[in-house]
Every structure is written in C-alpha cells, then in structure tokens.
Amino acid sequence: MSTPRPLTLIVNGEPRALQVEPRTTLLDALRERLDLTGTKKGCDHGQCGACTLHVDGERVLACLTLAQQAEGRRITTIEGLAGPDGTLHAVQKAFLAEDAFQCGYCTPGQIMSAVACIREGHAGSAAEIREFMAGNLCRCGAYPHIVAAVQRAARALEQETLA
Amino acid sequence: MMDFSYARPADLAAAGAALAAGGMALGGGTGLLDLAKLGVARPVAVVDLTRLPGLDAIQVSETEARIGALVKMSRLAAHPAMRAALPAVGQALLASASPQIRNMATIGGNLLQRTRCAYFRDAAVGSCNRRNPGSGCAAVGGVTRGHALLGVSPHCIATHPGDLAVALVAFDAVVETWSPNGQRLLSVHDFFLLPGATPGQEFALAPGEIVTGLRIPLAPVARQARYVKLRDRASYEFAAASLAAGMSLGVDGRIADLRLALGGVATIPWRARSVEAALIGEHPTPAAIAAAAALAMREAEPQPDNRHKLALVPALIERTLTDMVGEPA
Ligand SMILES: Cc1cc2nc3c(=O)[nH]c(=O)nc-3n(C[C@H](O)[C@H](O)[C@H](O)COP(=O)(O)OP(=O)(O)OC[C@H]3O[C@@H](n4cnc5c(N)ncnc54)[C@H](O)[C@@H]3O)c2cc1C
Ligand code: FES
Ligand code: FES
C-alpha cells in the first residue's frame, strides 16, 4: 500500500497542507479533507460536470484529476468565486435572477463552467452557450434558464469591462 | 480504485525508467483514471508525464504540422495556423468530449484512448478478449448498437471511439515515440492494430514506449478538409458515425485528391480507400458520388443492432462530398 504523503494545494488563494494517498482525486481531497463540499460528485467518471472547478483559470473536472496532479496549480472552487466581502460573482447573481436551477446539485459545476465559458468567449449566442456548456448535465432539466443566466451574466460582465 | 504510487519524472529518461519498472503513463488522466475507477485499468504505479519539458509545442510550417504529445485538446483546437492548414483537426477536437475534458486531455492520451464498449468497461463481465485474452466476447449476441461493422474479428467487435484519430488517418499523420532505445516514427496507419486474434494489443507500441508527438503532412487537400460527426444527441457524445473528408479538384474539374476516413463504425479509425479510388480522376457528379459512397460499407459485417449504419455511412459520405462540391475552397 502507498502511504499518504504530504501535499500542499493552493485553493482559492490559500495554501492548504494535507496528507493524501496518491490515488486520491482532487474532488475527494477537497470534499473529504478540506471540507469544501461545494464542488459536487455526480458520476465520478467525467460524464456530468458536477465537479467542475478551475485549475490555473481553466475549467476542468475534479473527479478525473489526481490531487497530486494539481500540486502547485491555482485551484478555484465555487467557494472562492464571490468577492472577499461576500459580493456574488456576476454569474452567481445571474443564476439567481434567472432561477437557473431546481434541486441545485449541478449548480456549482454549472456556475464554474459558465464563468470559464464566458471568459473563453464562447457565450456569443444561445446556440454557442448550449454547445460550450454541454459538459454540464442537469437532471432537473433547467437548461433554458441556465442558458438565459449565462447570457445575462455575459452581458453584465461585458458592461463591467466597458464601464 | 486500486491503490497505486505516483511519480512525476522530470525528463524522458526518468519517465522511461519508471515505465520500464511497470508504471502506467498518465496524461490528462481522463481515460486512465476513469478505467482505474472501473477496475478495468489496474495501475500499480502511475507515471505523470505532464510536466516533462519540451513536449507541448505546436509548430505549423507550409508542409507539416508538429504537435507535442502533451498539447491539450483545447489548445490544438484553437490554434489559428492549425485551423487554417487542416480545419478537420480542430473540428474533430471540438466535436469531442466536453470543454472541461478538452482542457485536461493530452493529444498523446487521446490517441491511446480505449474503446467505450460497455462490456469492456464493465469489469464484472467475464467475457472480454480485449481485457482478458481468451475469455470470449460478450458483445457478440449482446447490445450492439454502438459496435463496429468494419475491421471486426470473431474475437472482438469493439468500436474505436476517437475523433481526432479519424482525421489523422485521413491525412497520413506520423506518430513520434521515444523509448530508452531511441526515437521512432511510425505511420498512423501502422499505429492502430486490428483486433484479429489479439484484441488486447491495440497499439503498435512497445511496453514503456512514450508517445512524444505527431507530425501531419499538410497537403493542399488538407486546407478545405472537414470533419462531420453524427451522434445520438447534439453534443457531448461519441460518434454514431463520423467522417473526415478532404477533396481537391484539378483544373479539368476532376477530383485530383480525395481523403476519406470513418469513425464510430470500425475497430480502428478507418480509411475508406475503396470510395477514394472510385472517385479520384472522376468528375464529382451526384451519380458518381452516390455510386462511390455505396462502396464504403461493402465489406461491413453488421450486428443485429447496428444495421442502420449500412445506410447511414454512405449517406454521410454522399452528403458531405456533395456539400464540398457546392462550396469549393
Ligand atoms: C465523458 C467522456 C466523453 C468523451 N467523449 C469523447 C469524444 O466524443 N470523442 C473523443 O475522441 N474522445 C472522447 N473522450 C475521450 C477523451 O478524448 C480521452 O479520454 C482523452 O483524450 C485521453 O487523454 P488523456 O491525456 O486524459 O489520457 P490519459 O487518461 O492520461 O491516458 C490514456 C491512455 O494513454 C496512455 N498515455 C497517455 N499519454 C501517453 C503518452 N504520451 N505516451 C504513452 N502512453 C500515454 C495512458 O497510460 C492511458 O493508457 C471522452 C471521455 C470522457 C470521459
Ligand atoms: S463528478 Fe466529475 S464529471 Fe461527474
Ligand atoms: S438543478 Fe437539479 S440537476 Fe440541475
């Protein structure tokens, strides 16, 4: 058996020291060791997107990433999205405004994916949003509201940069 | 998931040594970790290649594209020079998996992805010659909607699931590898192995050999090539059938060069040479295209659930070539 080994992860701007077995995924390390349960486990096989977070600013799946692979990288989870004073991110506000969820289980992954989708420049039209949000499944079928929320957030962020 | 050790070698020599000692290579992990959780892959030692230096460049010249094995799918898909020189590659990548997976997965790992055959992926299924040589094939007589019709053997009918590889086969890419014995270049046509009697041997790689990159010749026919993927849902799904196609016409209006490769219907990415041969030198008339497209599945061996692909594939070829004739570059 491989014994747990020390590892430092940079999560939401803070270095976090922990001991994990090499096989521990980033998802399990965050949820089980660091009590950051905002990142959800849906399928655990890369199929649903519930575990989406950002590594070095890019959206990836925490369930198919070993915690070891993320060593030295900047990890951002849903817990790190709002401002230090608690001001919600434009995408979070838009999900509330558009009622873009039902049970809410897929929502953290949807929001992290949407933040990246807009940043990548893939939120130009409803069709483009549907294609570039395809990696996030919603079992409640809130898709029309999710697309509306991404469009609303993209507009808000565009206005922010113009202002 | 089985317990394993984890190493992150700093250079090829160290990686080679770790693999020679029984390690399994790790790229993005989107294939290996998935299969390890299923108990289908059973790594004892995982060797993370992703921080090896020098394997993440994309270089595009007039005549050739060189792509490092550690380049991520998303980066290659977005590369402007690559999109201009060989649009089918970016199209195949953007039609693959999801944005998240494309940000994680490496080109090397992508080439080495395993079949999505449900019987292969279920470790509780005893009969799988690919996983467990000599045990039989549970897919034959099972649910076969996604299984192969071309390149099959009595021992295995699992479909090759990749999209990028189909474009690579259409345009005669070359795979670069490294092992302690040195560097090797092998044609993508020799890289993927037909199942035959040994479906467990899927790639022409020696144990521990590392894929370091790809070279793609940039023939004129590549410039207006395209990748068309048919799926059971609009996105984020493996191919029901897919086609990489490149065509160039001579000054006389006849087809001068034609490249056609199929995905989703064969055990390896499948070059449709009989269709190419029937059309090269001909005028691309609707009748000629239809007659040639019908040849694509002549050698097919369908299963009860995938017979619809006998018509789907010729229709895909016919529609795509007709579109290309209508919109010349
Ligand atoms: C939900 C889902 C949907 C998907 N949909 C599609 C799709 O529509 N189309 C498609 O084409 N693909 C699809 N894929 C597959 C995906 O493209 C592959 O999993 C991915 O490309 C593998 O790359 P990786 O770097 O993550 O490989 P890894 O998982 O790290 O490795 C894969 C294999 O290659 C070996 N390996 C990796 N790198 C090297 C190297 N440099 N040298 C030697 N051996 C190496 C590993 O040991 C392992 O056996 C999907 C995957 C998932 C999970
Ligand atoms: S939990 Fe990671 S994709 Fe479903
Ligand atoms: S809101 Fe319930 S799964 Fe999406």
Q: Is the CB of A49 under 6 A from ligand 2?
A: yes
* End residue of a domain, out of A54, A80, A106: A80
Amino acid A162: pLDDT: 82
Q: Rounded to an integer, what distance in angstroms lies between the CA atom of residue B186 and that of residue B175? A: 5
Ligand 1: centre distance to CA B50 (Å): 13
Helix or strand holding residue B322 (H, E): helix B309-326
- Would you say residue A32 lies in a domain? yes
Average pLDDT over residues A112-136: 98
Contacts of B50 in chain A (CB under 8 A): 69
Residue A85 counted as domain residue? no
Q: Are residues A52 and A98 in the same domain?
A: no
Q: Does B104 touch chain A (CB under 8 A)?
A: yes
| A71/A14 same-domain check | yes
Rg of chain B taking only CA atoms, in angstroms: 20
Strand-pair category, B210-217 with B64-68: antiparallel
Residue of B nearest to A56 (CA): B103
Measured CA distances, B234 to A16, A131, A134, B274 (Å): 40, 8, 9, 30
At CB < 8 A and 24+ separation, what contacts does B275-283 make? B275/B317, B279/B255, B279/B321, B280/B255, B280/B256, B281/B254, B281/B255, B282/B254, B282/B255, B283/B253, B283/B254, B283/B255
Ligand sitting nearest the alpha carbon of B95: 1
- Point out the ligand 2 atom lying closest to the alpha carbon of residue A40: 1
pTM over cut 0.95: yes
A113 and A147 in one domain? yes
Other CB atoms within a 10 A radius of the CB of residue B187 amount to 12
Is the CB of A23 inside 8 Å of chain B's CB atoms? yes
State yes or no: pLDDT of A1 exceeds 60.
Answer: no
* The token pair that represents A48 in the structure block: 């649903």
Nearest CA in chain A to B95: A131
Residues A104 and A44 both lie in one domain: no
Contact between B30 and A61 using a beta-carbon 8 Å cutoff: yes
Rg of chain A, C-alpha, whole Å: 16
Judging contacts by C-beta atoms under 8 Å, the chain A residues touching residue B98 are: 49, 134-136
Quickly state the pLDDT bin for B198 (edges 50, 70, 90): very high
Q: Are residues A116 and A138 both part of a single domain?
A: yes
Indicate if A16 and A75 belong to the same structural domain.
yes
pLDDT of the residue at B152: 98
DSSP letter string over B91-153? HHHHTSS-HHHHHH-BHHHHHTPPP--HHHH-TT---BTTTSTTS-BSSTTS--TTS-SBS-B
A33 falls within a domain: yes
Using the predicted structure, report yes or no on whether residue B132 has a pLDDT greater than 90.
yes
What ipTM did this prediction achieve? 0.97
> Is residue A61 within 6 Å of ligand 2 at its C-beta?
yes
Q: How many CB atoms lie within 10 A of CB B2?
A: 11
Looking at the partner chain, which of A2, A65, A117 has a beta carbon nearest the beta carbon of B104? A65
The reply to whether A129 falls in a domain is yes
Q: What is the CATH number of the domain that holds A140?
A: 1.10.150.120
- Give the span between the Cα atoms of B279 and B275, in whole angstroms: 6
Instruction: Identify whether residues A24 and A59 lie together within a single domain.
Output: yes
Instruction: Find tokens 């890419």 and name the residue.
Output: B173
Interface of A with B in 81-100 (CB under 8 A): none
Q: What pLDDT band is residue B326 in, cutting at 50, 70 and 90?
A: confident
Report yes or no on A114 lying in a domain. yes
In a shared domain, residues A72 and A105: no
Q: Mind listing the pLDDT tens digit for each residue in B249-288? A: 999 999 999 999 999 999 999 999 999 999 999 999 999 9
Query: Min CA distance, B141 vs chain A (Å)?
Result: 27
CA A120 centroid distance within chain:
14
Q: Quick one: A119 and A64 in the same domain?
A: no
Question: Quick one: what percent of chain B has pLDDT higher than 90?
Answer: 97
Q: Do A69 and B50 touch (CB under 8 A)?
A: yes
Residues A122 and A94 in one domain: yes
**Residue A107 is assigned to a structural domain of this protein:** yes
- Percentage of chain A lying above the pLDDT 90 cut: 94
Domain housing A123? 90-162
Query: Are residues A93 and A153 in contact, defined by beta-carbon separation less than 8 angstroms?
Result: yes
Residue A54 within any structural domain of the chain? yes
Model pLDDT for residues A16-49, shown as the tens digit of each residue: 999 999 999 999 999 999 999 999 999 999 999 9
A15 pairs with which residues across the strands? A10
Residues B20-36: pLDDT tens digits?
999 999 999 999 999 99
Could you tell me if A75 and A97 lie in one domain? no
Antiparallel, parallel or unpaired: β B45-48 and B24-26 = parallel
Please give the backbone phi and psi of residue A56, each rounded to the nearest 5 degrees, phi first: 50, 40
Mean pLDDT of B194-209: 96
pLDDT for B313:
98
* A104-119 CB burial, b ≥16 within 10 A, e <16: ebbbbbbbbbbbbbbe
Per-residue pLDDT at B327: 79
- B 3-22 → A contacts, CB under 8 A: 3-6, 8
Q: What's the DSSP call for residue A29?
A: I
Average pLDDT over residues B135-160: 97
Q: CATH number of the domain at A72, please.
A: 3.10.20.30
3-class DSSP assignment, residue B297? coil
Quickly count: other Cβ atoms within 10 Å of residue B115's Cβ.
Answer: 27
* Closest residue CA from atom 9 of ligand 1: B96
With beta carbons under 8 A apart, name residues in chain A contacting B97: 135
Count of structural domains within chain A? 2
Say if residue A109 is in the same domain as residue A150: yes
What pLDDT is stored for residue B328 in this prediction? 60
CB of A142 shorter than 6 A to ligand 3: yes
Protein residue with its CA nearest to atom 4 in ligand 3: A138
CA–CA distance, A32 with A19 (Å, rounded to integer) = 11
Q: Considering A19, A51, A80, which residue would you say is the last residue of a domain?
A: A80
Of the listed ranges A16-20, B30-34, B310-314, B324-328, the least confidently predicted one is: B324-328
Q: How far is the CA of B105 from the centre of ligand 1 (A)?
A: 6
Domains in chain B with CATH codes: 5-51 (3.30.43), 54-329 (3.30.465.10)
The residue from A32, A58, A80 where one domain ends is: A80
Contact status, residue B93 vs residue B163, Cβ threshold 8 Å: yes
B270: part of which helix (H) or strand (E)?
strand B270-271
